[in-house]
Amino acid sequence: MPTPLVGISTYLEPARWGVWDLPAALLPAGYHQLVQRSGGVAALLPPDENPHAAAHAVARLDALVVAGGSDIAPHRYGAEPGPHTGTAHPVRDAWESALIEAALDARLPLLGICRGMQLLNVVCGGTLNQHLEGHGGPPGVFSSHLVTPVEGTRLSALLDGPLEVPTYHHQAVDRVGESLTVSAYAQDGTVEALEMSVTRGFVLAVQWHPEAGEDLRVMRGLIDATR
């Protein structure tokens, strides 16, 4: 079968390389490398304000990954910004929300990572805890902790648990969105994975960062779902 084409959301940031200092569509290399190591071809999806762009992109993909990154604007889940909540990125929020909605409508295999899990929850009507401690290292440094998959879930079929995972986040799922099921927890009770029923196709999201580790099983689950 053809190698699956996996789209990965990217975001716009100021960047410097060589003699250049310009806005750039940015994504840590671990994401596309994880797709490649898991048997897919990676296609990077920069924000697009065309209202039809997400659906057009999804129609050409075999799977979608919504990447980690900055905090989601609290107004999207009916909240005011807390003192620890970062600067809003409305273009990114809108783009990735549209990608998620298009993927769900098309039953395209979907994997959310960190922010991607939080945004999936928000798109499905859930809310977020805007700040918690103990799930990341110093700025720019991944930490690790144990997560335990929930028995009988899609995630538990992919992973043996409990297992140590790379982590870096200060927000988390609060109220779980409609049609979503919790499929892993951290030791402190933080929701670490969400999924939809297998009747909705492959829809899985994890709070940790598989692209920062060596475990390919979650991404291979996404790739296998395309076949």
* Residues taking part in catalysis: 114, 209, 211
Please, what is the Cα angle at 140 between 139 and 144, to 5 degrees?
95
Q: Are 167 and 145 in contact (CB under 8 A)?
A: yes
Angle, helices 90-106/53-60, rounded to nearest 10 degrees: 50
* CA-based nearest residue to 47, from 11, 23, 99, 98: 11
Q: Is 56 helix (H, G, I), strand (E, B) or coil?
A: helix
- What CA–CA distance (Å, rounded) separates 89 from 13? 10
* CA-based nearest residue to 222, from 42, 60, 96, 28: 42
The amino acid that residue 88 corresponds to is A
Please, what is the Cα angle at 94 between 88 and 96, to 5 degrees?
105
Which runs of consecutive H residues, i.e. helices, occur in the chain?
29-37, 53-60, 90-106, 115-123, 154-158, 217-225
* CA-based nearest residue to 95, from 62, 127, 58: 58
Place of tokens 């005011």: 80
